[in-house]
């Protein structure tokens, strides 16, 4: 049976106290609405209909491709929101319609699939997910009759004292018989207090029609965390991190303190990776087997090879090949590519540069727009002066070159293979392979006389 999901995402979310619509807030690297769209697509095998309102262009852009949209110009309640999506849903010829919120990011797609399966099996007009919990979190109560059948949903503000003691809660996730739903929507009356049309009224309408309403209870409170405030967003982040981190540990990743590790959905970690405390693995970061990351690292869209060690460092849009190490306090950014077995020490920064195998860059140096050959040595205080005031200029350092302490490489410039620059040199012209230069500006060192001490 074909099911189409309608995601309600038209509201602003005033309790977030932000100009940004609630569904555009990020959670572990994805917006709330992107998570809802992904869950619905996985559950039903096709992109959903998203009901948009405020900042609709931004919300549409965050949903990705293939998604259908309906616009709710006036926010007149959940029933009205589904009604404005009716034309789109009918055009898709779905036999069942699932409805969910765009601010419930931890709802598993498997729950949605099971909901649709149960509705089809039972032939019910409505199937709904419910939560059994001691903390009602403002949810409406599910009222059952003496036979245990669902007969109504009562919002918390309208519930009697007896109804408030009910612990089965309506979380706002439904699956409807489409043929019954569309005419039933026309029968919802505006709420006398708010003038809005509430989707929950459909339960009483179905009961009055003699149609079955099926409730599938769950005790997984984390799955139904709805985001109304930034405190809720923090709760959802903590719950999602526990879910993500446990998943990686079951796949062979070690974490000394999982509560202090932050991993985005799109990251990928191989078995036998160790992640130490206060480490952020963000975006599409990939980490190879046997690598040790942390403590106190931030990796964003990084590629880390096998057997690497990264300590207290920031690596963004950059890569370390097998056996390389970085840190503490190294910064790699903007397409830095570090070859196998290379060493990047403390307070070193590398931007848009490629380092060959076995390069040593100990500390307090900067390489920008540079290409460094195998086994070269970059000493303390080396700086590539790569910006001429208008554009970035390249530096090339050959295999086995030795760049001495505090050398300034004024780009564009090439240091030949096995060449040497003396401490404090300011290199403004190319250095030939095997040549030694010193001074300001750097000049070739005269051949020394026999027995003269080597002071360079």
Active-site residues, by number, are 363
- Residue 393 corresponds to which tokens in the numbers above? 């200029």
Contacts of 197 (CB under 8 A, 6+ apart): 76, 77, 78, 79, 80, 83, 188, 189, 190, 191
CA-to-CA separations, 302 to 27, 96, 250, 315, 384, in angstroms, rounded? 19, 43, 23, 6, 23
Q: Which of 368, 394, 364, 395 is nearest to 379 (CA)?
A: 364
Q: Which residues of 95-111 are buried (b: 16+ CB within 10 A; e: fewer)?
A: ebbbbbbbbbbbbbeeb
- Give the CA-trace dihedral at 101, 106, 110, 111, to 10 degrees: -60
For the residues of 181-209, what is the DSSP string, one character each?
HHHHHTTPPPPTTT----TTHHHHHHHHT
Query: Residue 202: CA atoms inside 13 Å, Cβ hemisphere, count?
Result: 33
Question: Which tokens go with 114?
Answer: 């099971």
CB 353 within 8 A of CB 333: no
Backbone φ and ψ of 389, nearest 5°: 100, -15
Which residues, other chains included, contact 323 with Cβ-Cβ below 8 Å and sequence gap of 6+? 305, 306, 307, 308, 340, 341
CA separation for the pair 74, 53 (Å, rounded) = 8
Question: CA end-to-end span of the chain, whole Å?
Answer: 81
């Amino acid at each position: 049976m074909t099911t189409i999901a309608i995601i309600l995402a038209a509201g602003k979310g005033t309790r977030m106290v932000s100009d940004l619509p609630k569904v555009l807030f990020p959670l572990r690297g994805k917006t709330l609405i992107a998570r809802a769209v992904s869950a619905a697509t996985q559950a039903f095998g096709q992109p959903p209909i998203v009901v948009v309102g405020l900042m609709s262009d931004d919300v549409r852009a965050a949903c990705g491709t293939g998604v259908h949209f309906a616009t709710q110009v006036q926010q007149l309640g959940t029933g009205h929101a589904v009604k404005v999506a009716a034309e789109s849903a009918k055009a898709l010829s779905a036999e069942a319609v699932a409805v969910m919120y765009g601010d419930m990011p931890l709802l598993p797609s498997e729950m949605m699939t099971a909901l649709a399966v149960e509705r089809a099996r039972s032939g019910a007009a409505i199937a709904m997910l419910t939560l059994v919990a001691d903390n009602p979190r403002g949810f409406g109560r599910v009222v059952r009759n003496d036979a245990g059948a669902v007969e109504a949903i009562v919002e918390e503000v309208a519930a009697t004292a007896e109804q408030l003691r009910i612990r089965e809660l309506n979380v706002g996730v439904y699956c409807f018989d489409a043929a019954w739903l569309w005419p039933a929507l026309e029968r919802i009356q505006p709420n006398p207090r708010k003038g809005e049309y509430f989707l929950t009224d459909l339960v009483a309408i179905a009961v009055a029609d003699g149609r079955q309403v099926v409730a599938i209870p769950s005790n997984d409170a984390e799955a139904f965390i709805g985001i109304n405030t930034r405190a809720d967003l923090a709760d959802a982040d903590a719950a999602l991190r526990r879910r993500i981190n446990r998943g990686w540990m079951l796949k062979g990743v070690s974490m000394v303190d999982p509560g202090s590790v932050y991993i985005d959905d799109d990251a990928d970690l191989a078995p036998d990776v160790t992640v130490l405390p206060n480490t952020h693995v963000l975006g599409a970061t990939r980490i190879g087997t046997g690598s040790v990351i942390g403590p106190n690292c931030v990796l964003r869209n990084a590629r880390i090879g096998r057997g690497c060690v990264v300590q207290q460092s920031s690596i963004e849009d950059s890569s370390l090949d097998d056996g390389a190490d970085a840190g503490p306090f190294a910064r790699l950014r903007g397409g830095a590519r570090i070859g196998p077995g290379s060493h990047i020490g403390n307070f070193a920064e590398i931007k848009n540069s490629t380092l060959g195998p076995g390069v040593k860059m100990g500390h307090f140096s900067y390489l920008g727009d540079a290409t460094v050959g195998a086994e070269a040595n970059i000493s303390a205080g080396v700086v590539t002066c790569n910006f001429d005031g208008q554009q970035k200029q390249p530096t090339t350092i050959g295999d086995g070159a030795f760049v001495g302490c505090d050398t300034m490489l004024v780009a564009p410039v090439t240091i030949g293979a096995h060449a040497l620059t003396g401490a404090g040199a300011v290199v403004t012209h190319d250095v030939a392979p095997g040549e030694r230069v010193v001074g300001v500006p750097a000049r070739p060192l005269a051949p020394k006389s026999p027995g003269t001490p080597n002071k360079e």
